[in-house]
A and B are shown apart, each in its own frame.
Chain A
Amino acid sequence: MKWLNTKEGGIFLILIALSAVLAVRSPVFLTMENMIDMLKTNVVLAMMAIGMTLVIVIGGIDVSVGAMTALVSVLIGKWMVAFGYDLSVVLLMSVAGGAVLGAINGWLISKIRVHAIVVTLGTLSIYSGIAMYVTGGIWINNLPQAFIDFGRQNLFGIPMSGGTLAIPIQVLFLVLVAAATGYMLKHLRIGRMIYAVGGNPLSAERAGIRQDRVQLFVYTYMGFLSGLAAFVHTSIYRQVDPSAFTGFELQVIAAVVLGGANILGGSGSVTGTLLGVALLAVISNGLTLTHVPSFWHKVIIGLFIVTAVSFDIIQRKRRERRLAKIDVLQ
């Protein structure tokens, strides 16, 4: 019961409420097929949002994530077309490539002391420019069959009344990422350091935490996850579209913020972010299922974000006033 009082609990309740409304309005919503479809569509968003959570917790931001994913998918796409598919090679390439791109971001941000948004704006242009140039804007279609088969795999295969409960393999990746990142944030030293730097950089510095090292790690990890996301995305859609991720970073940031993270740093969690992703997913799915014309989608999501963050801020301010009062009244 106590959990419901936390920020994540609140978001979870909103999620349940929305889902309930949706289940009533559309009979398709709660079907196995729809659920799995939602999962598949949002695995990539979820993975990247998890990476972005760390970035936002340390008070930074990375608007180049869409471009990083695009570039890595172009990289592995071209590789597979030329050299065929080998799971370990391609997977390694994806995460290593992504990590390198992320490390460039991290290195620049930590060394030249310029705000992350400007640096990542620059790398955004560079990475997406390269991706587009190398492909000429054309999609890469002829991926090796072995890869496509890999992407089609499902775990389990339990027949149920609504259909077969078959979880796509990509979800496994997400689960591993979520578990690993959550564990890292809660139980490993690096996790503590990340929260410390985000909460109060000065104190963290005085406590001996090297802010530049933490930044380097966080942005590299973001790149690592972007690379993995590229691998997963390509395995789902079976082709590479170099412009598929344009503007994606905004959705990623929105998911993290909706998940309760403070944009100024210091708070945020994997659970919260996943809930944020779920919220966005349910809203999108709901809008489609209830046949709301597509132009209203953006309006509604935009209004939702504005309302959600406003409530969050108002609550936070109220909490601060209450704390100040308690101090006085005792």
Chain B
Amino acid sequence: MFGIETADEGEIRLHGRKINPRSTTEAVRLGLAYVPESRQTQGLVLTQSITRNLSLSVLNRLTNKLRLIVRKKERQLAESFISKLDIRPALADMQAGQLSGGNQQKVVIGKWLASSPKVLIIDEPTNGIDIGAKTEIHKLLRQLAESGMAIIMISSELPEILSACDRILVMRRGRMVGEFVNDGVTQVDIMNKALLGAPVSSLPEGGASA
């Protein structure tokens, strides 16, 4: 979906229109965002500052007429997200590698929020994060969903899925094996489908609607 690999089969529709991102750059342009599973190796450039990580996906929007990056704009962007997401310590020039797991994740999310995406794909959002930051992130995701952003969460933590998601798709080995609306579903139901469900041939209408 994000243009990292090309699709083998099937189609992707965004707001009804077919899309086929062939690169991550195109995906971002289409309004997609991806918070990867491993924030340290895939989501952040640990040796660079919080500011530079936050601006990484929107560098094109921070330039002036001469196509040069305007430091002030970058600074403002960084500071606004640091405060909005309550990133601690609130030091814009601190190396991303020195932050705690929860704060690192906030930086990655912040990077994507800066691009005002229509769809946010987030993979294992609270992996290795302490309880306090976990709740913060879940609250944030809920706020974003309510403001109209479509959020696709990939997770293997059943409690997290049940507490955060409106719809649940269960997949096994690349095929969809179950679908639930989160209305009284239990962990057992999900696990049943995960282990025993028969593959469904296609995704029902509705997809990931915003």
Contact = CB atoms under 8 A, between A and B. Distances in A.
Nearest to B175: A328
Nearest to A321: B5
A37 B5 CA distance: 50
A177 to B, nearest CB: 40
Contacts of B174: 327-329
Q: Size class of B's contact patch? A: under 10
Contacts of B175: 328
A330 interface: yes
Q: Size class of A's contact patch? A: under 10
B8 interface: yes
A interface majority secondary structure: helix
B interface majority secondary structure: loop
A327 B173 CA distance: 7
A325 interface: yes
Contacts of A325: 8
Nearest to A329: B174
A57 B174 CA distance: 35
Interface string A318-330: 0001000101111
A329 B174 CA distance: 7
Nearest to A324: B5
Contacts, number: 10
A328 B8 CA distance: 11
Interface string B170-198: 00011100000000000000000000000
Interface string B82-113: 00000000000000000000000000000000
A329 B199 CA distance: 12
B8 A330 contact: no
Interface string B8-21: 10000000000000
Contacts of B173: 327-330
Contacts of A330: 173
Contacts of A329: 173-174
Nearest to B174: A328
A327 to B, nearest CB: 7
A102 B5 CA distance: 44
A325 B173 CA distance: 10
Interface in A286-330: 321, 325, 327-330
B6 to A, nearest CB: 10
Contacts of A321: 5
A327 B5 CA distance: 15
Contacts of B5: 321
Interface in B1-44: 5, 8
A329 B9 CA distance: 12
A325 B174 CA distance: 9
Closest 5 CB pairs of A and B: A328-B174, A328-B173, A330-B173, A329-B174, A325-B8
10 contacts: A321-B5, A325-B8, A327-B173, A327-B174, A328-B173, A328-B174, A328-B175, A329-B173, A329-B174, A330-B173
Interface of A: 321, 325, 327-330
